[in-house]
């Protein structure tokens, strides 16, 4: 959440910053602003609302300069108003932008008020800018004052600071919130994400926890949390700016739904060969770790948590390895029991999810056999800090509601399951059948996208409702959870996912003619049980929508209001396939309701604070 772009150059930086902020809109925000060193002042322009309002402000009151910082804010302390928008300044001598939360801002604020500083906002961020000014007023250089102030902060943050007395220099720091440094010719940059700068450079440093960086047009100096000058590895990032466009689709989400066949193909490429796991999937050291695994703990948030729930069914049914799945924000605040030879596995699209990273850092000292991760972003904090990271190769995901991230996460988790099955000497015929299902998955997903027009029809009915129930059983129960999450995320319709067998334990009380019930009906051993649960809904007048594998001998044709028949491949990969039409359903309902599909209210793409 939130986005930072900062530039020190020999040309006007306003357009660079604004374009960078545009590419970070996917992260979620409710105000935007910039601060530019402009002659004898720091010119600040900021507005509540979307970036378009800031652009209008810049047209009415233009500003130019060679050094500046910009920000898209997602409100935490203080409402999303222009006064609370970043940047914040202190006596027009220092300006700062900040992602995250300064947990000790109250005592710092009281100290600064006692020193005579007046606060103009409700934010924790304004504390930092006055603190830097306070230390500079005591005779410290901009650099020394900034390092001292940053050293007093508690919490998670990424900051960028600029100063009138040292107008070419930008100082930035990170702790618990991502920040990258881009190198150019005669100019240097800082941003929350490489995507913000990909039009300017492909050369990046990824700052580590506690790092502070100072950039000018011609220099870049990085210091660790102890103040020591350090070298970080310079990375070349091969990311096309075309990947960040809608490419003719109405929304990023729709584009990303349709990218799933390619994303899965890219994810499994070179990892499967001849219907078995390729030798290139893992190295010998990783295989040696997996051979020792007796238990698995999977930790994640949101959609990634649902991926973990599916993986639990796979791992226990196929490899007989006991597996627990837990929400990261709960796991990190209790004392979990770690049995001998337990593998810790965390899942995150961005690799910067605060709760998942905190769980990983806890796990490092909790006695786990090893820490593994599944992630979509190379060089993210999760990728760098875990022992072994499996990248999903989904490409950039801009829409806040995860689609291809989940599909590719499940593809990687399926690969891990197959590798463990091999190491556990599961029957080779079984393994080959499962691998074949995975190999043919991109084509099956592509077929499911052909259901789009049918799904549009049922979306017109569901859009009129205020609630919805999603039902699934076994490995498809997490898919029901995910379907409900997507609908509520982007359409704002209240939706809940339930294991169908739980209906009579409470949720059945909600069912009437105004309650749409969406059932995931795969061709598996639980189909008859699910049909019985559907009868319970039908008897109470519920409006039934069933997504059914056409290969199954189901008896639902005359028993549900709307039947969507589909090719769901085998029982191993069918959760991945069933997920796709549910994504399309949520998308079309949201479009009909006129909501902001790509940037739903109150949500952020990358949750980098608790």
User: Cα–Cα distance between 502 and 562 in angstroms, integer?
Assistant: 22
Residue 172: is it exposed, middle or buried by C-beta count within 10 angstroms (0-12/13-18/19+)? buried
Q: List phi, psi (to 5°) of 503.
A: -50, -50
For the beta sheet containing 220-223, the strands, ordered from the edge strand earlier in sequence to the opposite edge, are: 88-90, 94-102, 155-163, 170-175, 212-215, 220-223, 229-230
Quick check: 599 and 495 in contact, CB under 8 A? no
280/277 Cα distance (integer angstroms)? 8
Q: 336-372 b/e with 16+ CB inside 10 Å = b?
A: beeeeebbbbbbbbbbbbbbbbbbbbbbeebebbbbb
Rounded CA separation 84/77 (Å): 8
Catalytic residue among 2, 375, 389, 521: 2
Q: How many CB atoms lie within 10 A of CB 32?
A: 29
Q: Is 186 exposed, middle or buried (0-12, 13-18, 19+ CB in 10 A)?
A: exposed
What CA–CA distance (Å, rounded) separates 468 from 487? 9
Rounded to 5°, the CA angle 94-99-102 comes to 80
- What is the C-alpha to C-alpha distance for residues 539 and 534, in angstroms, rounded to an integer? 9
DSSP line for 547-590: EEETTS----TTTSSEEEEE---STTTHHHHHHHHHHHHHHHHH
DSSP-derived pairing of the beta strands 295-300 and 155-163: unpaired
Torsion, CA 579, CA 298, CA 374, CA 223, rounded to 10 = 140
Query: What is the DSSP secondary-structure string of 261-317?
Result: HHHHHHHHTTTEETTEE-TTSS-HHHHHHHHH--EEEEEE-HHHHHHHHHHHHHIII
HEC string of 80-123 equals CCCCCCCCEEECCCEEEEEEEEECCHHHHHHHHHHCCCCCCCCC
Structure token digits, residue 421: 């099955």
Q: How far apart are CA 255 and CA 380, in angstroms?
A: 24
Based on the residue annotation, tell me whether 364 is a catalytic residue of this protein: no
Active-site pick, 46, 175, 486, 605? 605
Reduced DSSP (H G I as helix, E B as strand, rest coil) percent helix, strand, coil of the chain, to 5: 40, 25, 35
**Catalytic-residue membership of 605:** yes
Q: Residues with catalytic annotation?
A: 2, 605
């Amino acid at each position: 959440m939130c986005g930072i772009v900062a530039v020190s150059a020999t040309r006007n930086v306003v357009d660079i910053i604004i374009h960078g902020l545009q590419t970070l809109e996917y992260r979620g925000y409710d105000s935007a602003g910039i601060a530019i060193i402009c002659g004898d002042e720091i010119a600040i322009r900021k507005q509540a609302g979307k970036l378009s309002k800031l652009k209008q402000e810049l047209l009415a009151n233009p500003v130019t300069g060679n050094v500046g910082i910009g920000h898209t804010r997602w409100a935490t302390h203080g409402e999303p108003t222009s006064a609370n928008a970043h940047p914040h300044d202190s006596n027009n001598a220092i300006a700062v932008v900040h992602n995250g939360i300064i947990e000790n801002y109250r005592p710092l604020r009281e100290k600064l008020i006692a020193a005579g500083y007046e606060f103009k906002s409700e934010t924790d961020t304004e504390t930092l800018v006055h603190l830097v000014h306070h230390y500079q007023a005591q005779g410290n250089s901009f650099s020394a004052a900034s390092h001292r102030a940053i050293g007093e902060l508690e919490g998670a943050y990424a900051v960028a600071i600029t100063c009138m007395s040292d107008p070419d220099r930008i100082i930035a720091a990170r702790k618990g919130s991502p920040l990258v440094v881009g190198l150019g010719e005669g100019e240097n940059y800082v941003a929350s994400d490489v995507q913000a700068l990909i039009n300017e450079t492909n050369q990046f440093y990824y700052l580590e926890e506690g790092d502070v960086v100072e950039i000018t047009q011609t220099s870049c100096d990085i210091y660790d949390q102890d103040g020591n000058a350090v070298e970080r590895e310079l990375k070349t990032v091969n990311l096309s700016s075309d990947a960040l466009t809608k490419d003719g689709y109405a929304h990023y989400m729709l584009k990303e739904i349709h990218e799933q066949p390619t994303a899965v193909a890219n994810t499994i490429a070179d990892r499967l060969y001849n219907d078995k796991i390729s030798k290139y999937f893992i190295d010998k050291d990783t295989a040696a770790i997996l051979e020792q695994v007796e238990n698995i703990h999977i930790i994640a948030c949101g959609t990634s948590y649902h991926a973990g729930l599916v993986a639990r069914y796979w791992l226990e049914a196929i490899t007989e390895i006991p597996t627990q799945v837990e929400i990261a924000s709960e796991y990190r605040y209790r004392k979990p029991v770690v049995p001998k030879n337990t593998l810790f596995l965390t899942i995150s699209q961005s690799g910067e999810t605060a709760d998942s990273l905190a769980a990983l850092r806890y796990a490092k000292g909790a006695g786990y056999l090893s820490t593994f991760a599944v992630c979509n972003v190379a060089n993210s904090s999760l990728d760098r800090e875990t022992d072994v990271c499996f990248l999903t190769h989904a490409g950039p995901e801009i829409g806040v509601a995860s689609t291809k991230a989940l599909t590719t996460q499940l593809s990687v988790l399926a690969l891990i399951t197959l590798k463990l099955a091999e190491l556990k000497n599961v029957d080779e015929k079984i393994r080959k059948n499962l691998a074949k299902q995975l190999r043919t998955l991109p084509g099956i997903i592509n077929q499911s996208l052909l259901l789009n027009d049918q799904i549009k029809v049922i979306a017109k009915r569901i859009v009129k409702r205020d609630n919805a129930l999603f039902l699934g059983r076994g490995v498809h129960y997490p898919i029901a959870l995910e379907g409900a999450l997507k609908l509520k995320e982007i359409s704002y319709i209240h939706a809940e996912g339930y294991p169908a067998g739980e209906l009579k334990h409470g949720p059945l009380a909600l069912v009437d003619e105004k309650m749409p019930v969406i059932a995931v009906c795969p061709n598996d051993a639980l189909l008859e049980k699910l049909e019985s649960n559907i009868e319970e809904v039908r008897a109470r007048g519920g409006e039934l929508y069933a997504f059914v594998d056409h290969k199954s001998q189901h008896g639902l044709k005359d028993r549900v209001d709307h039947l969507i028949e589909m090719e769901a491949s085998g029982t191993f990969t069918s959760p991945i396939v069933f997920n796709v039409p549910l994504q399309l359903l949520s998308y079309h309902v949201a479009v009909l309701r006129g909501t902001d599909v790509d940037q739903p209210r109150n949500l952020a793409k990358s949750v980098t604070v608790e």
